[in-house]
């Protein structure tokens, strides 16, 4: 009998399991995944109400099944964007936070960040608040949530309050990087500028180790070099930015390709896309000192990546990274296991996707020994698509 039970679990662990998605309308788009503290995950997405209106819905995956769809927000004048879309975040206990982008003016890129919280796991939500109080009708987005060391909810974002034309009418200002936290009364503390010139539209990333908060984003130098930068909060203060690696990628426009951080305790890894001298690459780098320094980059792509990375730790020695890459005949989501010593398993095709921006930023999350992938497709049979894989399928 024990042998039969062992063989049953061996079969299950070696194969992917198709946990069906909750009921999602065919025109839904841009899923966003985040882990929960109890080894599950949350997913938020845009769901179409009618020809003019959208809602932001969410569901939780726990104990092998998805919860019934619930609404975060609906009917607002959302700023819909393939690369900068709503998120939901598990702060701990039954506390959740969510954000979206909402139009603030008539300009194409006039929009604000709206943040809400729930203290009963999504049954009720607070009134929306904006973390920025500049009053400027401009770009505010690419949010990443984090928990700070005072048990407060924090977030980092790209802020365009200084991107208006200069007083002399020549040229424009720069995109900034800002962060803030909620205080114990549920109000935002004053926002803090961390970098006064960053890449204009690349996603950010944030994690917390035992001793350090770590933020990652794409920088922009005066010479248009756009490296991936790190800022750390340690010993009560924010550090100066420093590059993960001096890629020397000079590009006059934003590539819309941000980094992703992941940690397992104090072990830190980062994945990012870069293309110096038209040589497109997806890299992974590891840190053994909580992000104070990073090791030499490990190239993981096959030769023609277009980026949009995600990253998850598997164990103390390995991570799994995903990205989008083109081949001679198709565009695909790829993923592979990468070891700290540079060893890699063969890259696996997760799915063929439509070329261009239709798929958005494909998402990846781990639950036990299974990996979940989600992305967007267009057309009558389109909407949010997903697949489950066993981790063993990547070895």
pLDDT in tens, 358-392: 999 999 999 999 999 999 999 777 899 999 999 99
R_g over Cα of the chain: 21
Q: Give 181-220 pLDDT, tens digit per residue.
A: 988 777 899 999 999 999 999 999 999 999 999 999 999 9
pLDDT > 90 fraction of the chain, expressed in percent and rounded:
86
Asked if residues 178 and 151 have their Cβ atoms less than 8 Å apart, the reply is: no
Q: Is the pLDDT of residue 78 over 90?
A: yes
Give me the chain's average pLDDT, please.
92
**What domains can you pick out in the chain, each with its CATH number?**
2-394 (2.120.10.10)
**Distance between CA atoms of 197 and 21, rounded to whole angstroms?**
40
| pLDDT value of position 379 | 76
| pLDDT value of position 2 | 42
**Distance between CA atoms of 102 and 139, rounded to whole angstroms?**
10
| pLDDT value of position 9 | 37
Tell me the CA distances in angstroms from 195 to 135, 157, 175, 229, one per residue in order: 20, 11, 9, 10
Contacts of 271 (CB under 8 A, 6+ apart): 259, 260, 262, 282, 283, 284, 300, 309, 310, 311, 319, 321, 323
Q: Is the pLDDT of residue 304 over 60?
A: yes
391: helix, strand or coil? helix
> In sequence order, what are the beta bridge partners of 218?
228
Q: Give 28-42 pLDDT, tens digit per residue.
A: 999 999 999 889 999
384: helix, strand or coil? strand
Asked if residues 241 and 227 have their Cβ atoms less than 8 Å apart, the reply is: no
């Amino acid at each position: 009998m024990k042998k039969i039970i062992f063989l049953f679990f061996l079969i299950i662990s070696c194969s992917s399991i198709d946990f069906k998605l909750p009921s999602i309308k065919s025109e839904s788009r841009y899923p966003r995944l985040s882990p929960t503290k109890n080894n599950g995950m949350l997913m938020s997405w845009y769901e179409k109400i009618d020809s003019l209106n959208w809602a932001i819905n969410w569901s939780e995956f726990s104990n092998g099944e998805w919860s019934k769809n619930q609404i975060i927000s609906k009917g607002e004048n959302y700023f819909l964007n393939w690369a900068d879309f709503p998120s939901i975040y598990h702060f701990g206990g039954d506390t959740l936070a969510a954000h979206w982008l909402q139009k603030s003016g008539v300009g194409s890129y006039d929009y604000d960040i709206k943040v809400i919280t729930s203290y009963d796991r999504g049954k009720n939500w607070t009134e929306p608040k904006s973390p920025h109080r500049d009053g400027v009708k401009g770009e505010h987005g690419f949010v990443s949530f984090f928990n700070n060391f005072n048990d407060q909810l924090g977030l980092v974002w790209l802020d365009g309050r200084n991107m208006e034309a200069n007083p002399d009418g020549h040229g424009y200002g720069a995109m900034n990087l800002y962060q803030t936290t909620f205080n114990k009364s549920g109000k935002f503390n004053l926002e803090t500028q961390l970098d006064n010139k960053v890449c204009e539209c690349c996603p950010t990333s944030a994690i917390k180790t035992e001793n350090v908060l770590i933020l990652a984003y794409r920088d922009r130098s005066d010479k248009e070099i756009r490296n991936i930068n790190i800022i750390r909060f340690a010993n009560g203060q924010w550090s100066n930015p420093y590059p993960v690696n001096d890629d020397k990628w000079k590009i006059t426009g934003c590539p819309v390709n941000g980094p992703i951080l992941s940690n397992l305790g104090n072990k830190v890894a980062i994945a990012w896309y870069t293309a110096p001298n038209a040589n497109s690459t997806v890299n992974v780098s590891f840190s053994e000192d909580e992000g104070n320094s990073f090791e030499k980059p490990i190239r993981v792509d096959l030769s023609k990546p277009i980026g949009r990375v995600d990253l998850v730790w598997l164990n103390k020695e390995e991570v799994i990274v995903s990205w989008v890459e083109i081949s001679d005949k198709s565009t695909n989501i790829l993923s592979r296991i990468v070891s700290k010593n540079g060893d890699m398993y063969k890259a696996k095709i997760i799915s063929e996707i439509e070329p261009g921006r239709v798929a958005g930023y494909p998402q990846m999350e781990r639950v036990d020994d299974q990996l979940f992938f989600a992305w967007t497709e267009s057309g009558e049979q389109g909407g949010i698509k997903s697949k489950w894989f066993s981790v063993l399928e990547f070895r």
